[in-house]
Amino acid sequence: MKKAILVFFIISFTLILGSCGHDGGLLFEGKGKDWTAKLVATYDIWGKENQSIKVTYVGDKLNEFSDFDIFVESPDFLGWGLEDLELDENGDYFSERVFMLDEKTPSTTDITLRIEGEVPETIKLTTASLQ
């Protein structure tokens, strides 16, 4: 009997997790003159949002870089920033789970990414659903 209850619990828990996984999250993207950016909002099983960020330098001064800062601003959540970042050899910076929210960011929100440093730029990020 205990094994049957355990199997039932495991199957039920798996089904609950599977049903929560259909909301793949949101992808906010933008492109500027020297930078591209992606902010990904994913959701855990409790509905909390985790944001990750990827920025790529597409300009022609990659070898002249030392460090840079990024700041994310939106009217729908408290903004956040990261400082003293370094690009990899391909011109990319990626960070998982840089910010967590209790509520989901609306897909219609305005998100602005400000890059400060040797090649500053401000990029508006627009949304697309994650598949």
Model confidence band, residue 15 (pLDDT cutoffs 50, 70, 90): very low
Residue 98 lies in a domain: yes
Residue 17 lies in a domain: no
Residue 72 lies in a domain: yes
Give the Cα separation of 3 and 104 in Å (integer).
Answer: 38
Residue 70 lies in a domain: yes
pTM: 0.76
Strands of the chain, DSSP E = 26-31, 35-43, 49-57, 68-74, 77-85, 92-101, 111-117, 121-129
Supply the pLDDT for residue 7: 44
**Which structural domain, as residue segments, surrounds residue 95?**
24-129
Question: How many C-beta neighbours within 10 Å does residue 123 have?
Answer: 21
Residue 112 lies in a domain: yes
Supply the CATH number for residue 100's domain. Answer: 2.60.40
Residue 18 lies in a domain: no
- At 64-89, the pLDDT tens digits run 878 999 999 999 888 899 999 999 99
Place of tokens 């009997």: 1
Overall number of domains in the chain? 1
